[in-house]
Each structure stands twice: as C-alpha cells, then as structure tokens.
A and B are shown apart, each in its own frame.
Chain A
Amino acid sequence: GQNIDQPTEMTATEGAIVQINCTYQTSGFNGLFWYQQHAGEAPTFLSYNVLDGLEEKGRFSSFLSRSKGYSYLLLKELQMKDSASYLCAVYGGATNKLIFGTGTLLAVQP
C-alpha cells in the first residue's frame, strides 16, 4: 500500500530554522515533491528530489534518502509568511500518480 507520514503540526520562531520530516512507503518511486499551501489557497511547488542528497533553493532545502524512505524540508531564517501547511508528495504507485501526505501545519511565532 501507499503511506506517507509527516507531523501534523509544528511551531517555530521567526528567524529560526525548522525541519519538517516525511517518511514514505510506496510501491514504486519516481520522485518526491514538497508543496506549500497557505490557508484557503492552492498548493505551490517548492522542491523536487529524485536522487539522494540535498537540494538547496534559497531559504528552503530538501533532502532525500531513498533507501530509508525519508525526506525532510529545511526552512531557514523563518518569516511570518512561512506560516502554512507543507505537503510531502511522492510519485509512485501502480499508475505512477502523485500521492500526498496529510501536510504539516507550521506556525511561525514572533
């Protein structure tokens, strides 16, 4: 079966660093995405990993370990506008579709 796990909620302080973890078990793997979703808005693309290692893009970095079925999203220099839900999604399954986790709701406090 398909299973993607991520923490439900996290709280962090403005200016700090936060790491959001994601573990997955899918039949087949063709890449992992992180999306950001503000309340009432559409998910927006943040990052994509298909090979092991770290991908850095400005304040956001994403790491993947395929052997461990594990990824994390690292957010540096947190800003209030980073308060949002962060969705981990894996391309997998028999029909190679994007399977989403339930999302991690991040609250950035002053």
Chain B
Amino acid sequence: EAGVAQSPRYKIIEKRQSVAFWCNPISGHATLYWYQQILGQGPKLLIQFQNNGVVDDSQLPKDRFSAERLKGVDSTLKIQPAKLEDSAVYLCASSLEKPTGGETQYFGPGTRLLVL
C-alpha cells in the first residue's frame, strides 16, 4: 500500500514570496491533515479535512495560509506571503475515518521550508 505522498521535499524562498505544498493521501482515507512542525517541537495541526470539507482550521493563520481539498483526495497548502517564522516542516497525514478517537494517522515525508 502506497503511503502519503508530498511534494516538494524541500523549498527555499525569500520572505514575502508565495509557496505551495501538495499532498496525496493514502487511497481510501477520508480524513486529511496538515501539520506544521517547527524544529525541536511536536507537530501542530493547521487544518483537518473530512473528504472535501473543513473540520478544524482553528490554528490556521488565515491571513496568509490557505488550504483546499477540492475533490476529496489531493490537497494543497499555500502560504502567501511567507514570513521568516514560517520556516518549518509541513507534514501531511491521513486517516481512514473522521477521528472520534483512536484512528491512526499516517504521515507523509514532509516538506521542509526555509524562508530567508
């Protein structure tokens, strides 16, 4: 079974530029998550989709971050404009169902973003 795919793996941009990340979840997984992991910290949830609907985006900085999952499969996360503090690893994860508890999330390899 193929895992969660993400691209690009690495990205270097200058502050105020825009960047987009792509994620393809495990086939059949209805729930998709985007996390931000700053060096030395645990992942922090940015947004959670159930099929193509948003379940939780309470920690997404909506003035600069946006995400979509138009057909309920692939997803893109965009930052516009980027700030220095956005330097982090952006992890995509997926799970079979909407988590009421206990649904294991499977993570992709992440996109490592450096904002200069």
Q: Do A and B bind each other?
A: yes
Contacting residues, chain A, for B110 (C-beta < 8 A)? 41-42
Question: Is B56's CB under 8 angstroms from A97's CB?
Answer: yes
A-B interface pairs (CB < 8 A), number: 59
- Total interface residues in chain B, CB < 8 Å: 25
What's the nearest-Cβ distance from chain B to residue A96, in Å?
A: 6
Indicate if B45 sits at the interface (CB-CB under 8 A).
yes
- Total interface residues in chain A, CB < 8 Å: 25
Question: Is A31's CB under 8 angstroms from B102's CB?
Answer: yes
Q: Say which one of A59-67, A73-81, A98-106 lies at the interface with B.
A: A98-106
Contacting residues, chain B, for A45 (C-beta < 8 A)? 104-106
* Interchain CB contact (< 8 A) of A31 among B43, B101, B106: B101
Binding site for A on B (CB under 8 A): 4, 33, 40-45, 48, 55-56, 58, 91, 99-102, 104-110, 112
